[in-house]
Amino acid sequence: MTTRAALILLLAGLIAPGPPAPVDRSTTLSEVEVEPTPAPTPSTAPESPNQDWTEAGTPVEVRLAADPTPMPTPPPPAPARPARPIRWRVDIVGDISGLLIRDPGWSAFDDNRRVNIPGLTLRADARIGSSRLFLGGGASYRNFFGGGSLYDSTYAYSQVYEPLLFARLAVAAVEGIDIFAHVGGGPSIVALDFDSTQFAHQRSVVGMIDGQGGVAIYLPKRWLRRRGASRVTGGLELAAGYTWRGDLDVRPTVDTEEDPIPTDSATLGDLSLRGFVWRLGLFIRFQ
């Protein structure tokens, strides 16, 4: 081998990489220094369960499904009003009565002896102690009229006006049903008119006494809106009885206009307007 060839081989050995250096296996993992990785700096805001973190450590709000809207809570029931004991009652009554006049002389004034009598009543009563009895009274007004002819020659008309004061006793059998009786009296004002070849009229006042008994049915408190605290109710009543009126001496005064000769009228007899009566009424009660 020449000197030139030996030099080339030496240079090639210096340039070529050698085998890797041997590693000391006796060194443990605990002896190797590991550089700690810095932890991401948390945000100053409190962590929310709906937040997520990006690679840069910035929290990202994650929208979850919205909570369902809660059902509205019904308002609590209104407190029950305390029951008010019934100590007094005031009634406004509108009614219509039927009267059967026993006197056949009424046929001269009306062909029908059954007379309809409308009326209006205001009454009040109060409880007696703690019992079921109510004692009171009231006032009413009623009127009726008739019209007819005598042999188609004389026409007769009648009107009766009656203010009435009465006392009343009622028993509250159960709430909603009263059994009652009343008795009263007053003047009966009678106006009679006759129309024939001459005109005659008469105005008279006789006494009147009325007695009736019946039952009143009305709405009890438990059926009303405010129940025990209710102050107003209403109902109907049925009654029957007898009405007595004094005898009326029918003696009309003839209208002679400007006739200077005085004319005296003769009596036509007595007329009695008494008889059996029945009544149906509707009332509003304040209690």
State which residues form the domain around 217: 91-286
Average pLDDT of span 138-161: 87
Q: With 50 as the cut, is the pLDDT of residue 30 above it?
A: no
Question: In this structure, is residue 85 part of a structural domain?
Answer: no
pLDDT at 5: 63
Q: With 50 as the cut, is the pLDDT of residue 278 above it?
A: yes
Question: In this structure, is residue 98 part of a structural domain?
Answer: yes
Work out the pLDDT band at 255, boundaries 50, 70, 90.
confident
pTM to 2 decimal places: 0.66
Question: In this structure, is residue 20 part of a structural domain?
Answer: no
Q: With 50 as the cut, is the pLDDT of residue 216 above it?
A: yes
pLDDT at 78: 63
What CATH number is associated with residue 170? Answer: 2.40.160.20
Quote the number of domains for the chain.
1
Residues whose CB is less than 8 angstroms from the CB of residue 237 and which lie 6 or more positions away in sequence, other chains included: 93, 95, 178, 180, 214, 215, 216, 217, 279, 280, 281, 283
Average pLDDT of span 163-189: 95
Average pLDDT of span 150-161: 83
Average pLDDT of span 56-78: 65
Q: With 50 as the cut, is the pLDDT of residue 115 above it?
A: yes
Question: In this structure, is residue 256 part of a structural domain?
Answer: yes
pLDDT at 109: 85
Question: In this structure, is residue 129 part of a structural domain?
Answer: yes
Cα atoms in the 13 Å half-sphere on the side-chain side of 52: 6
